Amino acid sequence: MHGGAGTILKAQMNSEKESLYTNALKEAVLVGEAILLNDGYAVDAVEAVVKQLEDNPLFNAGKGSVFTHEGKNEMDASIMDGRTLKAGAVSSVMHIRNPVTLARAVMEHTEHVFLSGSGAVDFARSMGLKLEPDEYFFVQYRYDQLKKARESDTIVLDHTAIKDIDEKKFGTVGAVALDVYGNLAAATSTGGMTNKKHGRIGDSPIIGAGTYANNNTCAISCTGHGEFFIRSVVAYDISCLMEYKGLSLKAACDYVVKDKLVKLGGEGGLIAIDKEGNIQMPYNTEGMYRASKTNNEDLVIGIY
């Protein structure tokens, strides 16, 4: 799982902050692990992990989502099941407590893949999903981030260092999993970018860009400068390099994240798992909040 990539510098961390992150990452991984150890499905595990992170104001998703230019919280999320190649996604949704669960409902209870805005929220209501008032999403430092970004008229990626205001760089969240049946799944959720305008949508809810899963290849969840991830069709590109060119997960990830994206100027990273259970968590930024666990490896937690 990941909690966002970006300018995360050890020099700007203190041990208290670091343990806040690492505890949150650890708790989320354990939620997913418990499901998988009980022979649960990969798709259930990724939804549960992302949901847990959406409820944590540390991360830019769900409760901790960043503010738009107008001072709203508009969220994007997606989920994909590698067994069926079914997918669900939502963009620009407000008041939804767990956008990833809404994305899953789109996948399972509609004939569509991608719903947006008020239509998606109406659908959430009809499914009885949890909605929250504006106050639930109000996090003071996020609002301060917006004020600063507005003053300088910049559109700010959550993970980009901004002098004075960006002490807390928390990012988009995502999870990938392989279950005992050999199924792969991926999910991603985000508040997007601080001060985003004009209904901007990033890569996170776009199947093939920010999220992808296919039992024949891999499951991927991305974080970074969404525009570049959309243009590079990052998640699907990695799957294709494995499927059509026979690359290993590592070779495909390294090529896309450390070569192709870098050449284009796209900062970020991703988490990936293949059908054999190999895990890769590459990034081309200073850091990426990340954690992993397999049945034969101890918990891995990383930031820098």
Question: Would you name the residues annotated as active-site residues?
Answer: 172
CA distance 223 to 59: 12
- The residue from 159, 275, 290, 293 that contacts ligand ASP (CB under 6 A) is 159
8, 159 Cβ separation under 8 angstroms: yes
Q: Residue 31, SS3?
A: helix
- The residue from 62, 64, 99, 226 that contacts ligand ASP (CB under 6 A) is 226
Question: At its nearest, how many Å lie between ligand ASP and the CB of residue 226?
Answer: 2
CA distance 266 to 269: 9
32 contacts ligand ASP (rule: CB under 6 A):
no
CA distance 254 to 19: 29
- The residue from 92, 183, 223, 292 that contacts ligand ASP (CB under 6 A) is 223
Separation of CA 199 from chain center: 19
88 contacts ligand ASP (rule: CB under 6 A):
no
- The residue from 179, 203, 237, 286 that contacts ligand ASP (CB under 6 A) is 203
Question: At its nearest, how many Å lie between ligand ASP and the CB of residue 230?
Answer: 8
CA distance 52 to 28: 6
CA distance 39 to 177: 12
- The residue from 40, 64, 192, 287 that contacts ligand ASP (CB under 6 A) is 192
Interacting residues toward ligand ASP by CB under 6 A = 4, 60, 158-159, 171-172, 190, 192-193, 202-204, 223-224, 226
